[in-house]
Amino acid sequence: AQSVTQLDSQVPVFEEAPVELRCNYSSSVSVYLFWYVQYPNQGLQLLLKYLSGSTLVKGINGFEAEFNKSQTSFHLRKPSVHISDTAEYFCAVTTYSGAGSYQLTFGKGTKLSVIP
């Protein structure tokens, strides 16, 4: 079964500092990769996605992620965080599970706290 591991459950970082949120997945087959963000008391919304092509993908709010097939990773980065980036971030992976169906698996989330 597919699994998604977010290595850090909580990441505190000072405002204007860089941040990296780590995500690893277990599949050896072709995948689609996503990062979703959940602001306090809200639903999840898409931050960015990797479907194919360039391994560096850019998302909203200055975030970017790099797909590394050999390391089965899809780490999320931002060079300078803002207070408004305080949220929980979820990595998600879709794999083909046969018979025309796809399986979407979420990681357990990483809570990013930006300190003034």
Partner 1 sequence: NAGVTQTPKFRVLKTGQSMTLLCAQDMNHEYMYWYRQDPGMGLRLIHYSVGEGTTAKGEVPDGYNVSRLKKQNFLLGLESAAPSQTSVYFCASRQGGPSGANVLTFGAGSRLTVL
C-beta of 1: minimal distance to partner 1 in Å?
Answer: 10
60 binds partner 1 (CB under 8 A): no
Q: How far is the CB of 101 from partner 1 (least distance, A)?
A: 6
Determine the 3-state secondary structure of 61 from DSSP: helix
Which residues, numbered 88-107, are part of the site for partner 1 (CB under 8 A)? 90, 94-96, 100-104, 106-107
Q: Do strands 87-98 and 110-115 pair parallel, antiparallel, or not at all (unpaired)? A: antiparallel
Residues 38-42: contacts with CB within 8 Å, 24+ apart?
Answer: 38/87, 38/88, 38/89, 38/90, 38/109, 39/87, 40/86, 40/87
Residue of the chain from 15, 26, 44, 86 that contacts partner 1 (CB under 8 A): 44
The site for partner 1 (CB under 8 A) is made up of 9, 31-32, 34, 36, 41-46, 49, 51, 90, 94-96, 100-104, 106-109
